[in-house]
């Protein structure tokens, strides 16, 4: 279902800083990833980009095919031809159940 990963530093509020000059860091202590506090940031994904398309009739599907009749050696044969033109993407859809973002660094459950 196509997750996205942000690779730029500081873009996602749950990514660690990566700096080694932390004054709270001792030699025998390993800190967990620090969570930067952004008021609008949430570890949940509420929307995603849809992989479905609308055709010119308003039908919604992943792929569209058109049946064509091919005559070869006097015999008629039906073939399916994939339609790739005049399709409009569905766009951003809201998820019914929120998912956790792939960059969320905390272990939620230990087995």
For 74-89, write each residue's pLDDT tens digit.
899 999 999 999 999 9
Any domain includes 32: no
Token pair of 64 as six digits: 């569209």
* pLDDT top residue among 42 and 79: 79
**Spatial distance between the Cα atoms of 39 and 109, rounded to a whole number of angstroms:** 25
Between the CA of residue 109 and those of 32, 53, 99, 106, what are the distances in Å? Answer: 16, 37, 15, 9
The confidence score (pLDDT) of residue 4 equals 56
Task: Tell me the mean pLDDT in the region 22-51.
Answer: 66
Find the mean pLDDT for residues 51-67: 95
The reply to whether 27 falls in a domain is: no
Whether 48 is in a domain gets the answer: yes
Residue 94: give the domain boundaries: 44-100
Instruction: Name every residue whose Cβ is closer than 8 Å to that of residue 64 and which is 6 or more positions away in sequence.
Output: 53, 55, 82, 83, 87
Strand partners, 62: none
Contact 80, 66 (CB under 8 A): yes
**0.95 surpassed by pTM:** no
Quick count: other Cβ atoms within 10 Å of Cβ 27?
5
Residue 1 within any structural domain of the chain? no
Instruction: Domain count for the chain, please give it.
Output: 1
């Amino acid at each position: 279902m196509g997750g996205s990963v942000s690779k730029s530093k500081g873009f996602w509020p749950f990514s660690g800083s990566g700096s080694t000059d932390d004054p709270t860091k001792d030699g025998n202590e390993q800190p967990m990833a620090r969570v930067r506090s952004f008021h609008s940031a949430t570890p949940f994904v509420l929307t995603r980009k849809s992989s479905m398309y609308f055709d010119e009739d308003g039908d919604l599907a992943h792929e569209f095919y058109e049946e064509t009749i091919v005559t070869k050696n006097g015999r008629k044969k039906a073939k399916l031809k994939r339609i790739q033109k005049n399709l409009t993407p569905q766009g951003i859809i809201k998820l019914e159940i929120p998912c956790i973002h792939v960059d969320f660094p905390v272990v939620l459950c230990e087995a």
